Amino acid sequence: MNLETALKEAMTVDGAIGVAVVDYESGMSLGTLGGGQGLDLDIAAAGNTEVVRAKARTLATLQMNDTVEDILITLGQQYHLIRPMTSSSGSLFLYLALDRSRGNLALARHALKRIEAELEV
């Protein structure tokens, strides 16, 4: 699946507000879809890059031989899901913002896992 198809697929998740594929080495988005007023995906991508980096540093400091499957940030009105891409040959992650009143967290996690597995960047 290419980047454009992956972004469109992620936006079909119930409650999806916006999605991005982000390089956590640079903090730059490779692609975004959705967002809008109240959710600037480029700013969110840069901020979430720090979250991914911090978790990677913590795992290294703790000498944990493990990987991050996903990171969940729960807001009052939204869920923010971050899924590092293990199948890519770079330092990428998928970022999906969901409307909490319309989204199903379990289904969203399942969808991101599938998209991550099929995405070729």
Give the pLDDT score at 65. 87
In the prediction, which pLDDT does 4 show?
A: 96
Q: What percent of the chain has pLDDT over 70?
A: 97
pTM of the model: 0.92
Q: Which of 52, 59, 120 is nearest to 80 (CA)?
A: 52
Q: What is the pLDDT of residues 86-99, one digit of tens each?
A: 866 578 999 999 99
List, for the chain, all residue ranges whose pLDDT scores fall below the cut of 70.
87-89
Q: What is the pLDDT of residue 89?
A: 58
